[in-house]
Amino acid sequence: MDSNHQSNYKLSKTEKKFLRKQIKAKHTLLRHEGIETVSYATQSLVVANGGLGNGVSRNQLLPVLEKCGLVDALLMPPNKPYSFARYRTTEESKRAYVTLNGKEVVDDLGQKITLYLNFVEKVQWKELRPQALPPGLMVVEEIISSEEEKMLLESVDWTEDTDNQNSQKSLKHRRVKHFGYEFHYENNNVDKDKPLSGGLPDICESFLEKWLRKGYIKHKPDQMTINQYEPGQGIPAHIDTHSAFEDEIVSLSLGSEIGCDRSQNLVDICRERQFQAFVCDALAVPVRSGSCDACISIAVIHHFATAERRVAALQEIVRLLRPGGKALIYVWAMEQEYNKQKSKYLRGNRNSQGKKEEMNSDTSVQRSLVEQMRDMGSRDSASSVPRINDSQEGGCNSRQVSNSKLPVHVNRTSFYSQDVLVPWHLKGNPDKGKPVEPFGPIGSQDPSPVFHRYYHVFREGELEGACRTVSDVRILQSYYDQGNWCVILQKA
């Protein structure tokens, strides 16, 4: 081989440095995480440095990966410096391997991070599961019923009573109530010579007896501390003391339901009613993986404008569930008339009784909008609808959608397209009874009181099919309920 031909195969200093970094990342993943890469092309890639532990979010990484092809799944284990990407085809993953290896992305803090990609035979789901419990720790699910939980919560009296010998205090992040012995936070101990009168509450006796019989505890406790955390407070990071107690310590969590929404106003309403709730994105819920017994998603996933984002929302729900945990998911159905029965949504149309002409006029408006879409060269709503950005999904003023290709749905009528904008009237709108003009009155200078929200209404089997693309779940039930498609799934 001549020197000129040999020079074509010489690596530059930059290329050599990149190759060393890639090999190092490969060995680090194997040594510390047990992730074994392969030398041949597969559909799945492990992306070193592209993880939540590096400050790289899903919203930052996914668009980079999607430039190389359709990403079936993006798995980002919590606190790990890597992620897994699975492409629809091997050709697409090869393109990503060539294009993105050595590519720089900017993390949440504005720091540049270099990505290193390697092929893996399959996504390492097992490594994402919770680690084994520490020696001596026992977790008993559903140790009390929901009725017993309600009874226990109602039995705790937080009113100030100077005659009550059970010590009660208000601390920085919570209120506490002691029974049997008072726990002193100034020295993290109890005074065994000064027991509190009354002992433990009588309501605890039956539970303790049952736990003794089942072998959960070996001795009845003689001290109890009740901690009450107000909604939104949370439990700060801390290390509990154990020296003040004997070998057995029992912790019982009650009333720990929590909700989240993108709307600050809805969250505020929850808090006013003493429910725990916070604002967040359904694609990135700031809750530890595997920490939820159950998740409920009602009328959320149908607001995401692409199939990939809808699947990503399902994956996020599954991430939150513990193994064995269940999720209930509701989405709006395109079939508002099913098995020859109209949904409540259609039956709620006041014009439907004795005013068929007016209803036909409404539906003809929507058909006209659909026909306009077809005139623009579209026959299928899924193929014609452009990507909708986050601000559009969240709801925008009707004047701001005048250039949209999406049809505006006529309320209380059947759907004629899967991807639509649905008018929402502001509370207290004096014109609510008037017919809705899809994009506001032509030539009017007054801001329209109508908002339009994006919806993807699901066809029969579509939600179930999306759930089946998520690994480590099994579908327990799939059914139709009053104009909604519903799925109950369980994490393996």
For 220-264, what is each residue's pLDDT tens digit? 898 998 988 765 566 666 677 777 777 788 888 887 778 899 889
Evaluate if residue 273 carries a pLDDT over 70.
yes
Supply the DSSP string of 12-67, one letter for each residue. Answer: PHHHHHHHHHHHHHHHHIIIII---EESS--SEEEEET-SGGGT--HHHHHHHHHT
Q: Which of 39, 35, 17, 19 is nearest to 27 (CA)?
A: 35
Place 212 in a pLDDT band, splitting at 50, 70 and 90: very high
Distances (CA, A) of 436 to 12, 305, 366, 449: 65, 23, 12, 10
| Whether the model pTM is above 0.85 | no
In 340-395 the beta strands, taken as DSSP E runs, fall at 341-342
pLDDT in tens, 286-304: 887 887 889 999 999 999 9
Helix or strand run (H / E) with residue 451: strand 450-456
Q: Which residue has the higher pLDDT, 142 or 338?
A: 338
Q: What percent of the chain has pLDDT over 90?
A: 26
The pLDDT tens digits of the residues spanning 78-88 come to 778 888 888 98
End-to-end CA distance of the chain: 57
- 191: number of Cβ within 10 Å: 12
Q: How far apart are CA 11 and CA 108, in angstroms?
A: 33
Structural domains in the chain, sorted by start: 3-125 (3.30.70.330), 147-154+164-228 (no CATH), 337-456 (no CATH)
Higher pLDDT, 150 or 79: 150
State the DSSP string of 55-81: T--HHHHHHHHHTTS-EEEEE--TT-S
Burial label for 313, CB within 10 Å (0-12, 13-18, 19+), is buried
Give the residue, 163 or 272, on which the prediction is more confident.
272
